[in-house]
């Protein structure tokens, strides 16, 4: 015979319970769901009625998925899922789910393993945001009937195999060394070009200076010859002879005063005339030959 309601009430005790703001209470009467208790103070008939608490705080789980890329690189993808229980659907979460973490992880693994094999390793790193959005959409759609709301899905890490990482680091290091060598070569090239331009400019200026010096010397000789012709009524050849003698004596004087050089010069009554003849022959040999002047 079933117990009457009065008998049940006689065997029960009126108790109170408090539900926190971050929780919802699942009220059961004789094992059957009665209602969802909101935050605050409530009365229940114990032990006929019982209350189980469900947290509605945002929870995060990290799911590690091992898979292989399109270019046969083994990679471990870490995905962070942030979810919470919908307050009005706490009963679905409590009565329908046994282990939500395991079930969410299964959906995450399925989504990631359906996408990573279609991409290379570089493409996988570039498509992290796209994969995260796809995981969020699939997990949110699959867990919605169980009263779970997915707030965010984040791809927090993609870790290739250690040997692959070492190879990638070597490739990147080689690329950096090559770029550094190219930059250094370009810098050396610029320095050499600048040095060549500076040398050419210096030689150009030196040539101009030499030409101006020789022009000034020529003008000085010309002025001296004209002055001597006017003042002394000398012929040009006589003026040149006198200037050569003067310069010859000046050179001997400078050698004698310096005391740091020794020069043996044949000296005699005909020394000056010999010097004059040698200088004149040098000028004549350096002048171009005029065919009309030949006898």
Question: In this predicted model, what pLDDT tens digit does every residue of 127-146 receive, in sequence order?
Answer: 889 999 999 999 999 999 99
Taking the chain, what is the end-to-end CA distance rounded to the nearest angstrom?
Answer: 165
Q: Is the pLDDT confidence value at 291 over 70?
A: no
Confidence band for 294, pLDDT divided at 50, 70 and 90: very low
Q: Residue 22's closest CA among 84, 83, 104?
A: 84
Q: Residue 151's closest CA among 33, 35, 60?
A: 60
Burial class (CB in 10 A: 0-12, 13-18, 19+), 74: middle
Q: 219 vs 138, 230, 231, 233, 282, CA distance in Å?
A: 99, 17, 18, 20, 20
For the residues 207-228, what does the mean pLDDT come to?
79
* Token couple for 172: 């990147």
Residues 42, 19 contacting (CB under 8 angstroms)? yes
Q: In the chain, pLDDT over 90 holds for what percent of residues?
A: 22
Confidence band for 268, pLDDT divided at 50, 70 and 90: low
For the residues 213-227, what does the mean pLDDT come to?
77
**Separation of alpha carbons 107 and 95, rounded Å:** 20
Angle between helices 100-115 and 128-143 in degrees, nearest 10: 140
pLDDT of residue 295: 35
Residues 66, 74 contacting (CB under 8 angstroms)? yes
Of residues 141 and 213, the one with the higher pLDDT is 141
Confidence band for 104, pLDDT divided at 50, 70 and 90: very high
Sign of CA dihedral 276, 281, 283, 289: positive
**Separation of alpha carbons 283 and 49, rounded Å:** 135
Confidence band for 98, pLDDT divided at 50, 70 and 90: confident
- In three-state form (DSSP H/G/I as H, E/B as E, the rest C), the secondary structure along 83-107 is EEECHHHHHHHHHHCCCHHHHHHHH
For the residues 58-66, what does the mean pLDDT come to?
93
Q: What does DSSP assign to residue 287?
A: S
> Which three-class secondary structure state does DSSP give residue 289?
coil
The residues, any chain, with a CB within 8 Å of residue 256's CB and separated by 6 or more, are none
* Token couple for 219: 């003008």
Cis peptide before 47 (omega within 30 of 0): yes
pTM > 0.85: yes or no: no
Of residues 18 and 172, the one with the higher pLDDT is 18
Residues 88, 149 contacting (CB under 8 angstroms)? no
For the residues 87-93, what does the mean pLDDT come to?
90
Find the angle CA(38)-CA(20)-CA(48) to the nearest 5 degrees.
Answer: 60
């Amino acid at each position: 015979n079933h117990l009457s309601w009065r008998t049940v009430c006689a065997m029960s005790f009126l108790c109170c319970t408090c539900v926190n703001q971050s929780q919802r209470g699942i009220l059961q009467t004789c094992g059957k769901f009665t209602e969802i208790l909101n935050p605050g103070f409530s009365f229940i008939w114990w032990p006929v009625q019982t209350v189980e608490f469900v947290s509605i705080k945002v929870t995060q789980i990290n799911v590690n998925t091992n898979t292989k890329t399109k270019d046969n690189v083994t990679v471990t993808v870490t995905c962070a899922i942030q979810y919470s229980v919908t307050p009005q659907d706490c009963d679905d979460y409590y009565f329908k789910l046994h282990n939500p973490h395991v079930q969410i992880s299964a959906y995450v693994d399925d989504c990631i393993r359906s996408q990573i094999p279609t991409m290379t390793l570089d493409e996988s790193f570039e498509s992290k945001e796209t994969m995260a959005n796809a995981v969020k959409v699939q997990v949110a759609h699959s867990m919605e009937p169980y009263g779970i709301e997915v707030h965010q899905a984040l791809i927090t890490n993609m870790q290739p195999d250690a040997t692959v990482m070492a190879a990638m680091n070597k490739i990147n290091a080689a690329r950096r060394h090559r770029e550094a060598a190219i930059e250094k070569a370009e810098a050396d090239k610029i320095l050499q070009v600048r040095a060549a331009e500076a040398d050419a400019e210096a030689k150009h200026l030196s040539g101009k200076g030499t030409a101006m010096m020789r022009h000034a010397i020529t003008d000085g000789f010309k002025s001296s010859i004209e002055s001597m012709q006017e003042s002394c009524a000398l012929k040009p050849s006589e003026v040149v002879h006198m200037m050569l003698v003067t310069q010859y004596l000046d050179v001997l004087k400078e050698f004698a005063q310096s005391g740091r050089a020794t020069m043996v010069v044949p000296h005699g009554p005909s020394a000056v005339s010999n010097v004059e003849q040698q200088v004149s022959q040098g000028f004549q040999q350096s002048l171009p030959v005029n065919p009309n002047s030949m006898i």
